[in-house]
Every structure is written in C-alpha cells, then in structure tokens.
Amino acid sequence: MEFLVFISYVFFAFLLFLFLNFVVKKFSLTKVEYVLFTNIFLVFLAGFASYFHFTIFCDDIFIIVVFEFLIRMLYTTYLLDKDFFDREEGTLSLYLVNVVTAYLLNQFIIRQVDMMFLSPEQLKFLLWVFIILFFYHFFHKKENLSIAKNVSSIKTNIGNRRQYIILQYSKMKQKYGKDIRVKGDLRFLVYALMIYENNRRPGFFRRIDYLRYQYDHIPRKQGIMQVDTKKIISDVESIEMVEKKLEKLQDKKKTKKNVVEVFDLLKSYGKKKEEIEQIDAIYQVLKEFSEL
C-alpha cells in the first residue's frame, strides 16, 4: 500500500508540473497565484481521495509538491539549461514557499478533516449565495446595457455626435495640448485616437487598472491611449508612445508632407476595420472644425 501511495505521489506530481506550466503560460501568474493554484490542486486531490476513502493518500499529500519541486529542478537544469538556483530569478524561494505552504495545508487542514468536499448542508448555503450573486450580476448587466444604449443613441445622432466630439476635443486640447509634439493633420489623428480610446476606457476605469496592476502585475493596456505595456505609464507617456509609433509609420508610407492616409496608417497601427471607421469619423469632424 505504501508503495502504491508513493507511486501515486510521483504521478500526481508530474500532473501538477504540467498543470502549473499550463496556467503560468496561459495567464502569467503572480507568485501568490502560483502558490494558490498549487494548493487548490492539492485540495481537489484530497477531496477525491477522501470521497473514495483513500485516507492514507491524504496523510502526506504535500509530498506531491516536493516531488513537483524536484521535477521542475531537473527540467530547468537539464532541459532548459538554466541555473535553477540563480538568486536573480527568485524561483528557488518561490518553490520553497510553495512546499512550506503545502505542508501547512496538509498538517493543519487536510489531516484534520474526514471529508474535503462540502456537505449537502454547506452546498445549500453556497447555492443561495450563487443565486443572489447571479441576480445581482444579471440586473446590474441589464442596467449597464440600458445606460450604454442611451449613450449610444445620443452619440449616433449627427448633431449631438459632432457636438460631443468637439467638446471632448476642447477638453483634451486644454489638458494635453502642450504635450503633443506632432504637427499638421497627424495632430488631429492623435486627438481622434485619444477621444476614441478615452470613450472606450474612461479615466475611472483606467485608475482601477493601475490599482489592479500594482497587485497582480498582469500587463494591461494603459494610459489614455490604451497602449500595450508591461509597466505603469501615465496618460502623457501613452500619448508620447503613440506619437512615436505614428511618426515611424508615417515615414514608412512616404506620403506627401502633412498628408495623412488614415485608413492605411491605422491599419498598420493595428486597428480593426470597425475601429478605423469610428476613429476616421472623429478625425474628419476635427478637421472640419479646424477649418471653420
């Protein structure tokens, strides 16, 4: 029986290794999330083992994490040809914390209960919590859709839409005008992108993104221009990054001076057809307004 348990530990350690590799690659886990996913894996295993009365398996289930640690060390050293003990990487400390956390979970929770899965009485409580959360999410979503439709109907009206764009342009020019370097029509394209991206992701939600990034360090589009970046940037920095990219793309197009081919430029920039059409519409309004 002990030999069977030992073999099962090795087998599940290899599964844990594959599972962690998958979620790390798919979701770019933080160190805390890495440890949590490991222990969630153990809890599920302990739940199934206790359900089938294979209690001896749960006594030292943390050994799975120890074996996974050894598998990862061999994999990193011999297959990836990297220094597993490199201090700058910080991986060794992560895996040691992972082992210690799994040991504490094993000793103080898993070994102290007969069944890891929830009882019917506990499931009843969770079921009502789920129902309440479902209704809250459902009505909250419907309310947001209703608001979005009202805003959309206002903006699609030609007169109101033009007024809205000009109003936003005035606000952006007052706030960021001194930070925009590009000249001519390219300047209007920068403003058009700014108005479009700010409408899609207003300042309030961008501030939430900043706060989330400080905790999970998951790369998100940032700044008023919604730039893909792995670090926190300000609205002004996002404008500067977009300006540089547009200037490089404009130079490659080799068009006449001060001539902006919006569709070609934004396509090279990475925008989809629907996005380009909306940005171009804003751009045309700004051009017309500047000629008045």
- In this predicted model, what pLDDT tens digit does every residue of 127-144 receive, in sequence order? 888 888 777 666 656 555
Q: Is the pLDDT of residue 6 over 60?
A: yes
Q: Which of 5, 13, 17 is nearest to 76 (CA)?
A: 17
Closest to 55 measured CA to CA, from 66, 45, 68: 45
The structure tokens listed for 67 are 């074996």
Strand segments, DSSP code E, in 64-105 are none
Q: Where are the domains of the chain?
A: 2-120, 156-290
d(CA 155, CA 163): 9
Q: Residue 251 pLDDT > 80, yes or no?
A: yes
Output the pLDDT for position 147. Answer: 46
* Mean pLDDT of the region 151-165: 61
Q: What pLDDT, on the 0 to 100 scale, is given for residue 257? A: 56
Cβ 64 vs Cβ 9: under 8 Å: yes
